[in-house]
Structure 1
Amino acid sequence: MRAIVVEQYGVLPSVQEVPSPEVQPGGVVVKVEATGLCRSDWHGWQGHDSDIVLPHVPGHELAGTIAAVGEGVEGWAVGDRVTSPFICACGTCEQCAAGNQQVCPNQLQPGFNYWGSFAEYVALPFAQVNLVRLPDDLDFDTAAGLGCRFATSYRAVRQVGRVVAGESVVIFGCGGIGLSAVMIAAALGAKVVAVDTNPAALALAAKYGAVEVVTAGPEAVARIRESTGGGAHVTMDALGSNEIVQDALRSLRPRGRHLQVGLLPDGVQVDVSGLIWQELEWLGSHGMAAHHYPEMLALVASGELKPAELVTRTISLAEVPAALEELNLGTPAGVTVIRPGATASLGSTRPD
């Protein structure tokens, strides 16, 4: 099969012919129809993830059809349209038994623990616990973004952040996760403020429901506090940086809640005394278990959530190295989806 192969951290990968994955007991092999390009993939390419062993195939947001079914997998067949959380939980540990597959200590993640979905085929372990059946009317490009960014934002905003109608929610970073969070929080009836350095990303945030957009910079916190009447109920770092964390915490009102979703490879400094005297909550959120997908998919089917609008570009495997390199300069507006089966450059950008 054709796949993107990283041979050195920080050095552009290439498209290579590599062996296709073999189906394992309890797992499936999926023919990848679409896979998202996420900032987490950039972190892995840069060497920020200790689980990665080179040479490596990235990719963890995927949708496709089952190509092979392993021994012991019931209720699934070749040809079924599926997606999966990027966290493939074991299904048997204490956390999985409690329904918390997103923090399974035995989890495996395609594109990190083993070769991922920037390829024509990918293996998924523990299929009985992790496969999600796709509605026939949900296209693969849209479905690919659900497994990490949209599902992660859905659980962070709705379940972990406990956002309700009327609250002020500030989203820092308007890449795929941030724009998903804007759309979801707005659908819940929150007053959403979006913060980014990229005017195009802020324009999309306004389109997806932000009532105000703020250019990141020295004046951002003061503007946020003024527009939210003394501070936000909820802030979310959807990118991952020490500077964003500080601005997010300063933007909260007393007893506010901060959601940390963006990875922080360089660490972060937190004023713990400020957390104490204002009774602030620091909430980490990591993915979403497969059994929560039906609720989210029902809202997509009803039209309340429109993740298809987040996909702004589709590319082929040949275009992936350049797209990864673009992430060195920042996160492009919207979601980029890779179609591994395409043999030529697509260069497709959806109109706003």
Structure 2
Amino acid sequence: MRAIVYEEFSVLPQLRDIESPSTPTAGVVIDVEATGVCRSDHHAWSGHDSTISLPHVPGHELVGHIASAGPEVTDFRVGQRVTVPFVCGCGRCRWCLSGNAQVCPNQTQPGFTHFGSWADQVVIHNADANLIAVPDDLPASAMVGLGCRFATAFHGLRVRANLNAGETVAVFGCGGVGLSAIMIARAIGAQVVAVDVSDAALERARQHGAAHTVNASGKSPTQLSAEVVAQFSEECPDGVAVSVDALGREDTIAAGIASLAPLGRHVQIGLLSAPPVIDVGRVIGLELSVLGSHGMAAAEYPEMLDLVGDGRLRPQDLVTNVIGLEDAPAAMEMLGSSTGSGMTIIDLSR
């Protein structure tokens, strides 16, 4: 099969013919229809992820059809169209059995723990616990982002923060995850203020549902939080209900926590290179919640898929570039310098 392979970190990957994968006893092999180009792929290629063994095939956001299934797979059939969370649980531990496979200690991740979906085929382990059946009539562009950026944002907002219609949300960072969070918050019925240093990113945030925007350039966390709160002076004069850091910066975390009303919830999605300093006194005094979001278990997908199915959530609107597999190495390299907020997907039929 065709696959994008790198044998050294930060050295341009190559399109190669490699051996097709064998089918695990409890897993499946999927014919990849389309797969995403995510900044996490670039972090792994750059050598920032200790789970990567070389040579390696990247890719963790995907939609496709089951090509073969192991004898222990009972809930899915060959030919079925499926997607999958980027975090796949073992299906047997206490966390998986409680519906929290995203924190499974024995998790696997295509494109990280084993060869990923920048290939004609990809293996998914423990298929019954991790696959999600998706409709045949929805475009691949609506499905690909559900494995990572949309799943992480949905889990953070709806499950961890229990966001409800009518609440106020501040999203710091309008890249792929940030825009996903904005779209999800609007689909739920919340009001959103988007924060970024780029006017172009803020315009895109408005296009995807942000009612208010704040340019963070040159502002301290205190100044930024005050401006964010001012955007909701009528709806929520004491602060916002939920803040989301989609960047992974200490200053945006500080601004997010400072913008929260009493009993507010801060959702941390952006990764940091070192632990941040946060205002613990404010967290205690206002009884704030600081919540992490690391993907989403397959068990939580039905509500998000309902939003996609009825058109309230349109992940395909984030797709700005569709390429073939032969263009993927250049796309990987571009991730290191790109500041665009759109989504690139690889169409395996090209």
Q: Which runs of 5+ in 1 are unaligned?
A: 343-352
Give matches, 1:133-152, under 5 Å. Answer: 133-152=133-152
- Report the CA distance between 1:270 and its aligned residue: 2.3
Match of 1:221 among 220, 225, 234: 225
Deviations 1:3-44, CA, capped at 9 Å, x for gaps: 122222223222222222111101000011111111211221
Deviations 1:216-237, CA, capped at 9 Å, x for gaps: 3233333212213343221111
Q: In structure 1, what is the equivalent of residue 97 of structure 2?
A: 97
Letter in 1 for 2:141: D
Letter in 1 for 2:153: S
Give matches, 1:111-150, under 5 Å. Answer: 111-150=111-150
Give matches, 1:266-345, under 5 Å. Answer: 266-342=274-350
Deviations 1:293-332, CA, capped at 9 Å, x for gaps: 2222122111221222122211122222332233223542
- Report the CA distance between 1:136 and its aligned residue: 1.7
Letter in 1 for 2:267: L
TM-score normalized with structure 2 length: 0.92
Q: 3-state DSSP class of the match of 1:257?
A: strand
In 2, Cα distance between equivalents of 1:118 and 1:266: 30
Letter in 1 for 2:232: T
In 1, Cα distance between equivalents of 2:137 and 2:267: 32
Q: In structure 2, what is the equivalent of residue 106 of structure 1?
A: 106
In structure 2, relative to structure 1, the CA distance for the partners of 1:30 and 1:179 (3 Å cut) is same
Give matches, 1:24-103, under 5 Å. Answer: 24-103=24-103
In 1, Cα distance between equivalents of 2:13 and 2:274: 24
In structure 2, relative to structure 1, the CA distance for the partners of 1:143 and 1:24 (3 Å cut) is same
Letter in 2 for 1:177: V
In 2, Cα distance between equivalents of 1:43 and 1:255: 35
TM-score normalized with structure 1 length: 0.92
In structure 2, relative to structure 1, the CA distance for the partners of 1:65 and 1:268 (3 Å cut) is same
In structure 2, relative to structure 1, the CA distance for the partners of 1:11 and 1:272 (3 Å cut) is farther
Q: In structure 2, what is the equivalent of residue 200 of structure 1?
A: 200
Q: Does 1:257 align with 2:279?
A: no
Note if contact 1:9-1:46 (Cα within 8 Å) is conserved in structure 2.
yes
Note if contact 2:328-2:346 (Cα within 8 Å) is conserved in structure 1.
yes
Q: Does 1:210 align with 2:207?
A: no
Report the more deviating stretch, 77-86 or 193-202: 193-202
Match of 2:256 among 209, 230, 248: 248
In 1, Cα distance between equivalents of 2:310 and 2:83: 19
In 1, Cα distance between equivalents of 2:152 and 2:136: 23
Please provide the CA RMSD for this pair.
1.7
Q: Does 1:188 align with 2:188?
A: yes
Note if contact 2:202-2:213 (Cα within 8 Å) is conserved in structure 1.
yes
Q: In structure 1, what is the equivalent of residue 15 of structure 2?
A: 15
Letter in 1 for 2:149: R
- Report the CA distance between 1:80 and its aligned residue: 1.1
Note if contact 1:82-1:132 (Cα within 8 Å) is conserved in structure 2.
yes
Q: 3-state DSSP class of the match of 1:67?
A: strand
In 2, Cα distance between equivalents of 1:223 and 1:207: 21
Report the more deviating stretch, 327-336 or 96-105: 327-336
Letter in 1 for 2:156: A
Count of aligned positions: 342
In structure 2, relative to structure 1, the CA distance for the partners of 1:195 and 1:327 (3 Å cut) is farther
Q: Which runs of 5+ in 2 are unaligned?
A: none
In 1, Cα distance between equivalents of 2:321 and 2:132: 24
% of aligned pairs identical?
51
- Report the CA distance between 1:186 and its aligned residue: 1.3
- Report the CA distance between 1:176 and its aligned residue: 1.9
In 1, Cα distance between equivalents of 2:286 and 2:303: 34
Note if contact 1:175-1:335 (Cα within 8 Å) is conserved in structure 2.
no
Note if contact 2:20-2:121 (Cα within 8 Å) is conserved in structure 1.
yes
Report the more deviating stretch, 203-212 or 268-277: 268-277
In structure 2, relative to structure 1, the CA distance for the partners of 1:303 and 1:341 (3 Å cut) is closer
In 2, Cα distance between equivalents of 1:271 and 1:329: 32
Letter in 1 for 2:311: G
Deviations 1:134-181, CA, capped at 9 Å, x for gaps: 112112222111111112211211111111223220111222211111
Q: 3-state DSSP class of the match of 1:36?
A: strand
In 2, Cα distance between equivalents of 1:180 and 1:29: 28
Deviations 1:53-90, CA, capped at 9 Å, x for gaps: 12211111110111111121114222211111111111
